Amino acid sequence: MNPYFNEGWLAILVLVPLMGMAITAKAQAPGKAPAAGGDTPAFLLPALPYAQDALEPHLSARTLGVHYGKHHQAYVDNLNKLTAGAKMAGLPLEAIIRQTAGKSDQAGLFNNAAQVWNHTFFWKSMKPDGGGAPTGKLAERIHAAFGSFDAFKTAFTEAAMAQFGSGWAWLVQEGDTLKIVKTSNADTPLAHGQTALLACDVWEHAYYLDYQNRRKDFVQAFLDHLANWDFAASQVE
């Protein structure tokens, strides 16, 4: 009697049903529970407004790849986990941020929702060949609020440097006035009744691969080469 004959048939007898189960399981996974709305997450990572290498040499593709592809994506993923099956999942991001702001029992939800919003705003606050000075009405309002554009730049840099640890520097509109504010961690002007015009992320992950501990050089590059003043002007109310 040939022992290989028996083993071969044994293998076929065991493997064929297993393969069938695998194929069936694979075919069922993507379409499971279509009646419940499928697996489409409530919040998606918005597309970057430019290519990942478009801000070089001031911000590298490596920095943008990690910052957008890992950090921003993680905030989106966490937000989806935290809102899964909850009523909040159906609300606009801004409403979640306003509803959870200042509530210590909802800090996780606030932090992730606000960071999704802050980063989307930050990408729009930059553009290739940005920087320079604003024009038109925004320029007039900056002069009225800070005395000159140079004075604005000095004050914005000081705010970015004075933010101890992780956070953000912002140009905001509050009523009829423009202000520079800094916020800690995920905190955002949205939670304080202010309208954000321009954002600079000063978490170390925003600049460390390119500038290491030289936050001031990063802020300078942001103002001189990246700031998108057309976007800022479009946000003025």
Measured CA to CA, the distance from residue 109 to residue 28 in angstroms comes to 32
CB of 234 to Mn ion, least distance (A): 22
Closest to Mn ion by CB, 70 or 216:
70
In three-state secondary structure terms, 99 is helix
CB of 118 to Mn ion, least distance (A): 7
**DSSP count for the chain of H helices, then E strands:** 10, 3
Report which residue's Cβ sits closest to Mn ion: 201
Site of tokens 């320079």: 132
Distances (CA, A) of 233 to 9, 122, 151, 197: 74, 14, 18, 7
Closest to Mn ion by CB, 137 or 205:
205
Query: What token pair was written down for 214?
Result: 């030289």
Sheet with 177-184, strands from edge to edge, namely 177-184, 167-174, 195-201
Closest to Mn ion by CB, 123 or 229:
123
CB of 179 to Mn ion, least distance (A): 22
Residues that bind Mn ion (CB under 5 A): 201, 203, 206
CB of 201 to Mn ion, least distance (A): 4
Closest to Mn ion by CB, 122 or 146:
122
Closest to Mn ion by CB, 68 or 152:
68
CB of 67 to Mn ion, least distance (A): 6
- 236 near 197, Cβ under 8 Å? yes
Cβ-defined contacts of 77-82 (< 8 Å, 24+): 78/108, 78/112, 79/42, 79/43, 79/109, 79/112, 79/113, 79/116, 80/41, 80/42, 80/43, 82/108, 82/109, 82/112
Q: Write b or e for each residue in 42-69: b if 16 or more Cβ atoms lie within 10 A of its Cβ, otherwise e.
A: bbebeebeeebeebeebbeeebbebbbe
